[in-house]
Structure 1
């Protein structure tokens, strides 16, 4: 029988101060029927991930039997390391980056159980005065990036298709939350970003025009972020994963239906971004979380489309061989 953690705290525990322990498979203290789990965001904890707070605030996690501790992620590579080592139970992963990691043999013990974004958010942003108006202008420029994030890993494929001389890029390692300030100060010429991160850049740009270069202009049909678990966790108790998935996707649906509310809820739990910026990020995320044609449920994950993503990456030379999408995704763990 699966063990569950006994909690005395209400719905959501934040940060490293929480002392509950978990081995990544739902184990913990027994008694209350509520399990404390650790959820790792994609990178930092910005407004676009308000959905996890919405799911907690509205009681969806509690109804599903969970008390969720939110931790700040550091990008797909580091997130996979923490997930596979059992330090977290659920992790936000850029699906494209995860496919690259799997295809190159760096990480194998994970499976993706939903797609938070139906389209990839990766892009490069630059401010007026940087001399960057299009992709080819990036050659010779200093670009801020997040180590472990997909933007730098995917850049060679983007550069190849966009006609950029990737060998001339000067990459600068800067934490994601510091990208806006470094852009405004001119420390870097451009920065890898998420397309929905534009409000945060605008806040510090103070009226300067922003150039956005989406990867999807050249790398079409790629998924964005999804939620990953270890294979052991998925195989040991698939219903547990479905319950968590269902609660999280309810939060996502609500955040997309009411971005202003999502911004308010985010601001109650995090001070990294103010409420208006968080709300604006959620507004921008709506067309990424929902299919352009409509009719696709929030969180939907199609193995055939994943196969196309794998083929795109192989064709761009980012991975050497194609592989079966069922090795890395489990669409059967979506809520019924």
Structure 2
């Protein structure tokens, strides 16, 4: 049987560990390994675990110097890793699937699947006539160009049977989204449910009464979402660094689950102007709505159900009429998951 990329990664990881052991030295005994990591968005509650892991020294202890930057969209993070601007990204695995289907040699790989429930949505005013996906026909919609939900819009229109002929799509900066909706300049906005919900709250809206969500998942798009994505070059050349990074992030999540306030404090230390109460709500909602899929209790956070991932890949490929169907092993590898006794099976 021909070895798969997963086999190669596991072999590389084992070789790296044995090499360090053979020298009688711990991994990363020399100079720190610098990793540039691009997040999905600006600093908010759901970034807490990254910062808490950094503040508690988990990366430093493993010989890593992790430099984190704010992102401008989950889809953009994938492209930036693929282009070599960053070693690691917190990006949308569906954008990864699309890239792997068209440019497999450039595509990164997901090593820790964090968001396992589809958050993609079009938010509309509850007072509008738009009640369902078909009702979006003939309306003006908008969002950031690199927004994950907007990138999946062609797939959603295909699956939901939406006629796009009369729909106008307007691009604008992410920080304008809720204001554009509130002021009626667009009839719907693309985004993740909790991103829109809590940004609207910060803008003075009551999202529970003023916004209706047309969720992609309600129309059969049972997709994964954001995960830790690394370049294949990094995974193959320095598997120990990838493993240490994933383990540190996993420990940061575990610590955040034990103390939400500590996590929010870690965010506030980078972004002092955040509303800590709202960001704590956003963090908890993200755990509940985007990370607590039932499969976590079986496979653990960070891992996937291969059959479900295969179906998700098929949905993205068919809906976007992509030229090839990537294998699950091209999109995700479990070679870098944390030790079994550190894995997370309960979230909230």
Q: TM-score interval w.r.t. the shorter chain?
A: 0.7 to 0.9
State whether residues 116 and 225 of structure 1, in contact with CA within 8 Å, keep that contact through their aligned partners in structure 2: yes
The residue aligned with 1:202 is 201
User: Superposed, which structure 2 residues align to 1:71-82 within 5 Å?
Assistant: 71-82=69-80
The residue aligned with 2:317 is 314
Match of 1:165 among 163, 166, 176: 163
For residues 90 and 225 of structure 1, the distance between their equivalents in structure 2, rounded to whole angstroms, comes to 12
The residue aligned with 1:215 is 216
Q: What is the DSSP-based 3-state SS (H/G/I as helix, E as strand, rest coil) of the residue aligned with 1:37? A: strand
Using the size of structure 2 for normalisation, the TM-score is: 0.80
State whether residues 121 and 213 of structure 2, in contact with CA within 8 Å, keep that contact through their aligned partners in structure 1: yes
For residues 273 and 150 of structure 1, the distance between their equivalents in structure 2, rounded to whole angstroms, comes to 23
The residue aligned with 1:116 is 114
Q: How many aligned residue pairs are there?
A: 307
1:257 Cα deviation from its structure 2 partner: 4.5
State whether residues 34 and 67 of structure 2, in contact with CA within 8 Å, keep that contact through their aligned partners in structure 1: yes
Match of 1:325 among 312, 324, 328: 328
Root mean square deviation, CA, Å: 2.4
Q: What is the DSSP-based 3-state SS (H/G/I as helix, E as strand, rest coil) of the residue aligned with 1:168? A: coil
Spell out, residue by residue over 1:255-296, the C-alpha distance to the aligned partner (whole angstroms, 9 max, x if none).
345444423321221256421221111111113223325343
The residue aligned with 2:10 is none
Is 1:46 matched with 2:39?
no
The residue aligned with 1:127 is 125
For residues 120 and 135 of structure 1, the distance between their equivalents in structure 2, rounded to whole angstroms, comes to 16
Using the size of structure 1 for normalisation, the TM-score is: 0.82
For residues 107 and 162 of structure 2, the distance between their equivalents in structure 1, rounded to whole angstroms, comes to 34
Ranked by relative contact order (alpha carbons within 8 Å, sequence separation 6 or more), the top structure is: 2
For residues 86 and 105 of structure 1, the distance between their equivalents in structure 2, rounded to whole angstroms, comes to 14
The residue aligned with 1:87 is 85
State whether residues 125 and 213 of structure 1, in contact with CA within 8 Å, keep that contact through their aligned partners in structure 2: yes
The residue aligned with 2:136 is 138
For residues 122 and 272 of structure 1, the distance between their equivalents in structure 2, rounded to whole angstroms, comes to 27
Report which of the two has the higher share of helix.
2
Shift in alpha-carbon separation, 1:157–1:253, aligned structure 2, 3 A: same
1:107 Cα deviation from its structure 2 partner: 6.8
Shift in alpha-carbon separation, 1:318–1:150, aligned structure 2, 3 A: farther
The residue aligned with 1:154 is 152
Q: What is the DSSP-based 3-state SS (H/G/I as helix, E as strand, rest coil) of the residue aligned with 1:113? A: strand
State whether residues 116 and 289 of structure 1, in contact with CA within 8 Å, keep that contact through their aligned partners in structure 2: yes
Spell out, residue by residue over 1:121-143, the C-alpha distance to the aligned partner (whole angstroms, 9 max, x if none).
11111223343222222112222
Q: What is the DSSP-based 3-state SS (H/G/I as helix, E as strand, rest coil) of the residue aligned with 1:137? A: helix
Is 1:247 matched with 2:245?
no
Shift in alpha-carbon separation, 1:31–1:300, aligned structure 2, 3 A: closer
For residues 280 and 34 of structure 2, the distance between their equivalents in structure 1, rounded to whole angstroms, comes to 28
For residues 257 and 322 of structure 2, the distance between their equivalents in structure 1, rounded to whole angstroms, comes to 33
For residues 258 and 332 of structure 1, the distance between their equivalents in structure 2, rounded to whole angstroms, comes to 29
Spell out, residue by residue over 1:279-336, the C-alpha distance to the aligned partner (whole angstroms, 9 max, x if none).
1111111132233253432211344432221112233244243222212222112223
The residue aligned with 1:290 is 292
Shift in alpha-carbon separation, 1:81–1:311, aligned structure 2, 3 A: closer
State whether residues 81 and 89 of structure 2, in contact with CA within 8 Å, keep that contact through their aligned partners in structure 1: yes
List runs of 5+ in structure 1 lacking aligned partners. Answer: 1-29
List runs of 5+ in structure 2 lacking aligned partners. Answer: 1-27, 340-348
The residue aligned with 2:235 is 234
The residue aligned with 1:224 is 225
Shift in alpha-carbon separation, 1:305–1:278, aligned structure 2, 3 A: same
Shift in alpha-carbon separation, 1:310–1:285, aligned structure 2, 3 A: same
